[in-house]
Structure 1
């Protein structure tokens, strides 16, 4: 490692990217570059390293499904994915506008993966994200109410730029669950973005929530400012396994 007062000072100042770039420059012939250019290279290296660390931390906290990234999206699979709409979503304007995304369709068509790919792209764009299944979210809030962390949990959820709620409608909601869900979505309405995945068509969500009044309030905060992608077709998991029907599976 380079033994140089400038390198040591950069390290003590925690400018590790600049320190590494300074060490690399010391071994190169850069006499053709002016001071401003060399300084610019050091600053660029520091900025790139900090951005990389910040992204890694956002992705770690997001708890997304592994390998869900925009460049790996399979648009060839016949599942009704609206490619132009999805590519517009990847641009991130819906996050700036604090809109939502709803992904519906049968199991196995890639709803969760696509939701995580959107959130992964959001993290790249500097937004925070968090993935959670609806049953687990409701359990965490119930535990929080019992141990005194309920308000803290709601505040944490309200600060997340991109919240993924997976498996919407699979859990049976009681009155407490419905009110918890309303609290979460009310805090986020108009100021944050939410991604929801569900096997249940949107037109059946009102009945799935159970209480008409609370269902109106919940869906008003979720559906009316949302982009909807309705996927269809056979399970991608089954196709990857070389199976296309129950008969073939046998």
Structure 2
């Protein structure tokens, strides 16, 4: 058995070691199964654990701001959340169609929670994701310009199936920042999906970008073929504190 276990580890089938040990400890359960049936169970165990580890790794790499799941979203009346739309988005079809999601609403409306829940669901579907606050994304892009890693960062961002940009519109973007953002979105246009989270209504996004020409280009790549979630109602933080969430 030690030799078999070592062979499993050599082949990087460590999960099968535990599954085989379980079969030995519960011999009465497995003795009547054929060799092929027992082998199939071992392989299923290995595949299951590999998939679970992959999802954990994807969520860790995404660095989501909140630990949120689709099942935890509250569909309170007057909140502006459409169950049918959310159910459709939960299937991940928008990712395969390379569509964007624009989430807007007042402070405390739960915008980031909804965005992170959608990203968490994407990871469950084995899609790569990455969360950024807009200011941090712009800082990273500016820094990469200085140290020569700009193209590498752009390539890394382009490869993500889902990019989440939070706190959009808190400050106006200068010429350089607008240029960085346009390059990121240009690389991703009709190739992958982006979730944008903002306190500002979409119709006011144009004002946050100094250069009107660049503003047109950025908004065209974001708004075209996008799903919009416009959250309304009382702050979910207040509801949570009062125990009525």
TM-score tier, shorter chain, comes to over 0.9
Note if contact 1:7-1:23 (Cα within 8 Å) is conserved in structure 2. Answer: no
Alignment partner of 1:27 is 2:21: no
Which residue in 1 is equivalent to 2:6? 8
Question: Equivalent residue for 1:138?
Answer: 138
Closer, same or farther in 2 for the Cα pair 1:243/1:5, shift >3 Å? Answer: closer
Mapping for residues 46-125 of structure 1, pairs under 5 Å: 46-76=46-76, 78-125=78-125
More moved, 112-121 vs 28-37: 28-37
CA RMSD of aligned residues (A): 1.4
Matched, 1:221 2:197: no
Q: CA deviation at 1:171?
A: 2.2
Unaligned 5+ segments in structure 1 are 245-250
Q: 1:161 touches 1:192 (CA, 8 Å); kept in 2?
A: yes
Q: Contact between 2:171 and 2:208, CA under 8 Å: does it hold in 1?
A: no
Q: Distance in 1 between matches of 2:240 and 2:230?
A: 21
Which secondary structure does the structure 2 equivalent of 1:241 belong to? helix
Q: For 1:240 and 1:22, how far apart are their aligned partners in 2? A: 47
- Distance, in Å, in 2 between the alignment partners of 1:212 and 1:17 is 56
| Residue in structure 2 matched with residue 158 of structure 1 by the alignment | 158
Shift of 1:242: 2.5
Structure 1 pair 115/148, CA: closer, same or farther in 2 (3 Å)?
A: same
How far residue 78 of structure 1 moved from its aligned partner, in angstroms, is: 3.6
3-state SS, counterpart of residue 196 of structure 1: strand
Gaps of 5+ in 2: none
Counterpart of 2:219 in 1: which secondary structure?
Answer: helix
Alpha-carbon shift at residue 243 of structure 1 (Å) = 9.8
Q: TM-score, normalised by structure 1?
A: 0.93
SS at 1:171's partner residue? coil
Can you list the C-alpha shifts for 1:148-184, whole angstroms capped at 9, x where unaligned?
1111111110011110000111122100000101000
In structure 2, distance between residues paired with 1:33 and 1:65: 47
8 Å contact from structure 1 (residues 206, 219) kept in 2 = yes
Q: Please report how far the alpha carbon of residue 59 of structure 1 lies from its aligned counterpart in structure 2 after TM superposition.
A: 0.5
Cα deviation, residue 94, structure 1: 0.3
Q: Secondary structure at the match of 1:98?
A: coil
**How many corresponding residue pairs?**
242
